[in-house]
Amino acid sequence: MHPILFTIPLPRSELPLLPGLLGLGLLGLSLAGYAWWRKYVGLLVFGVALAATSGYAGTKLANSAVTLGSVAVPAWGALLSVWLVLAWNLTQRSARREGTRAAWLGDCWVLSALGALVFARVGFVAASSARLPELELFALRQGGLLGAGALLGALGTAAWFLRKRPQCFWQWLDAGAPVLASGVVLIRVGCYLEGCDFGTRLAESSPEWLCALGSFPRWGDPDVAPVFGAPAWIEQVKGGSLGPEQLTTHPVHPAQLYELSLGLLLLGLCWTLGPRRRFHGQLGLCALFVYALGRFLLEALRGDAGRALFGPHLSAGVALPLGLLVFAAAFSYGPALSWSGARRYALIAVSALPALLMGVASFGHASAPSPLSAAQWLALLVALGVGYAWSVRAPLASSRAAAQH
């Protein structure tokens, strides 16, 4: 694994930043003007955002220059770009299939993507302000995006944009289910190649194939500074559990691949449930619920220290069963409504079993208390939101179907 897919060799040169930023600003204004004329809301917002960002950067970096040379194409960024193009195509296909105006869903997609990026960055800076006080909101070179914030930003922006067309929002949510699944797959492949978002250390008795997947490399010669390595390698070296001369880390859980598997499961869910859905929004709500449940559990295996943690300090044997009970409650007053009679009550009882079994299994096994991560808190919030939305949408769809017959 390596974070760089390939490098494009280019001659070395130095260019002032101001002309390029002015050019980007003019491009943004041109796009905004064209979008205003053609009434493309998404493109209008993008053009204004590009012009404003370029103008702000121009005031801060007017006297700066950038040294150009060989261009390294990062794996994570390349896969993110592939996903953005794929998401656009999936949205347009869904609009044609549902008979919805493609312009509405297209504009919603653009705005949701921008909202996701803004909320992801703001959420990361807000959650990391205590740990990294020098972190600046617009200093993107400092890195950091909060995935939980991206999901919240996308949903909130779409709900705001389509507030006067509620049916279109639920259609957009259904269209977003395969988009979410494909994004989880592609972005987690990039995370695995980058080596970020890794898991906790594996037990000594773990199978060899799992240890091989969870061993991340050092990049570069240890005798030539600076020495680079995957984030897991750097963290273990800083923590003193690994020497800088070691080529690979102690094996950790490949949490990126676990979540990639979750994305594949979501794709299978979209393929299976899509033709069988009973109301608009059902596919999207299912995908959100399953993703939230999987993310809540997988976060317990994450070992990277850069995550935002807050809330009461609880051991995993207490926090995870309580969280699973929240998911069971959300399932009971939400998705369980799709069944009736004894089957519904049986499913409600089954939904509470994981919490009970996990609580029994962890009884007597003490673990260090720790707060939940931001992603886990959002997962609980999403589960409750899905339950509420399902409790409203499912009876409404049933009454409409009964009225038609």
The Cα angle at residue 189 between residues 187 and 194, in degrees rounded to 5? 95
**Cα(247)–Cα(229) distance, rounded to whole angstroms?**
9
Q: Which residue has the tokens 């009971």?
A: 332
- Indicate whether 364 belongs to any domain: yes
- Indicate whether 133 belongs to any domain: yes
Q: Is 172 found in the same domain as 135?
A: yes
**Cα(313)–Cα(331) distance, rounded to whole angstroms?**
26
Please give the C-alpha separations between residue 278 and each of 109, 176, 267, 339, 351, in angstroms, as whole numbers. Answer: 24, 17, 19, 12, 22
Q: Output the pLDDT for position 340.
A: 83
Q: Is 319 found in the same domain as 359?
A: yes
- In which domain, by residue range, is 29 found? 1-69
Domain count, the chain: 2
| pTM summary value | 0.84
DSSP reduced 3-state for 367:
coil
Q: 242: closest CA among 201, 213, 193? A: 201
**Cα(393)–Cα(386) distance, rounded to whole angstroms?**
10
pLDDT in tens, 210-220: 999 999 998 86
Q: Which stretches in the chain have pLDDT values below 50?
A: 401-402, 405
**Cα(79)–Cα(76) distance, rounded to whole angstroms?**
5
- Indicate whether 308 belongs to any domain: yes
pLDDT in tens, 81-140: 898 888 888 877 877 776 666 667 777 888 888 888 888 877 776 766 656 555 555 555
Please name the residue ranges forming H helices in 241-373.
255-273, 282-299, 316-333, 341-362
Q: Is 81 found in the same domain as 24?
A: no
Amino acid occupying residue 319: A
